[in-house]
Amino acid sequence: MQPFERKTAPDGHEVMLFPLTELYVTQGENGSYSHQGILAMDLVVVGQHDAPIYAPCSCTCVATLSDSNNGRIFQSNAEVWTPAGLQYVNFMFFHDENPIASVGSTFTQGDLIAHTGTAGQATGDHTHFNTAFGQYAGWTHVPPQNHGCLVNSSHIYDTCYIDDTIITNTGGYTWVTYGSTPPVPTTSKRSNFKWVLYANNFRHGIR
Ligand SMILES: [Zn+2]
């Protein structure tokens, strides 16, 4: 997404966006460096330190983590459209040296919400981003390395649309753009019907 960007579907629900201006994955899911067993990704904005991170949807800070990584956890204020459907989401960032949010802080989609950084266990400036479906259900630790992650963690590419994001390194994942087409399946029956008619006509030589 881009600074202060907002995107709303025709049904009034926000479209969950990728929170950085650039997509550059430096460590993916289950990465052997420090992501064993978790779906988080490490993300950078090339050439920037303390790069801005924007609220991917209107949200509230629901928890802070007490270790040196300066983790901040947020929950959407309502259901949002994701590539996996309409639902609540929660998400977190690590390594911000100057966190903005404390528990109860509210943000509108597009607001500055955090920064990349080097706080805690970080060898270079980045953010450690983890997403989950549903309302915030807690922070847990998983084998084999006891890494922390959100309960009900989700694939980021199933959670955020990458509209208006500069794509530099996809990490090998397939990312989805919302575009201007509503993901709401309210008209799909009709267009499927037309397509079936067309296909049948085509098959029978009627065009
Ligand atoms: Zn990480």
Residue 55 has pLDDT above 50, yes or no: yes
- The string of pLDDT tens digits covering residues 61-78 is 999 998 999 999 999 999
Output the CA 195–ligand 1 centroid distance in Å.
Answer: 45
Pairing outcome for strands 153-154 and 127-133: antiparallel
* Residue 45 burial (10 A CB sphere; 0-12, 13-18, 19+): buried
Predicted local distance difference test score (pLDDT) of residue 181: 60
Q: Write the CA distances from 44 to 13, 22, 53, 77, 116, integer angstroms.
A: 28, 8, 10, 26, 7
Residues with CB under 5 A from ligand 1 (ion): 42, 128
- What domains does the chain contain, in order, with CATH numbers? 22-198 (2.70.70.10)
Per-residue pLDDT at 155 exceeds 80:
yes
Ligand 1 centre distance from Cα of residue 126 (Å):
8
Ligand 1 centroid to residue 187 C-alpha, Å: 40
Sequence-distant (6+) residues with CB within 8 A of 164 are 1, 2, 5, 17
Q: Are 23 and 2 in contact (CB under 8 A)?
A: no
Ligand 1 centroid, distance to 34 Cα (angstroms): 6
| CA 82 to ligand 1 centroid distance, Å | 22
- Tell me how far the alpha carbon of residue 36 lies from the centroid of ligand 1, in angstroms: 10
Is 207 a residue whose pLDDT tops 60? no
- Give the pLDDT band of residue 183 (cuts 50, 70, 90): low
* pLDDT for the residue 179: 87
What is the CA(142)–ligand 1 centre distance, in A? 14
Distance 122 CA to ligand 1 centre (A): 8
pLDDT band at 193 (very low <50, low <70, confident <90, very high): very low
Alpha helices in the chain (DSSP H): 188-203
Q: What is the pTM of this model?
A: 0.87
- pLDDT value at 188 more than 60: no
Average pLDDT over residues 89-116: 98
Pairing of strands 166-169, 22-27: parallel
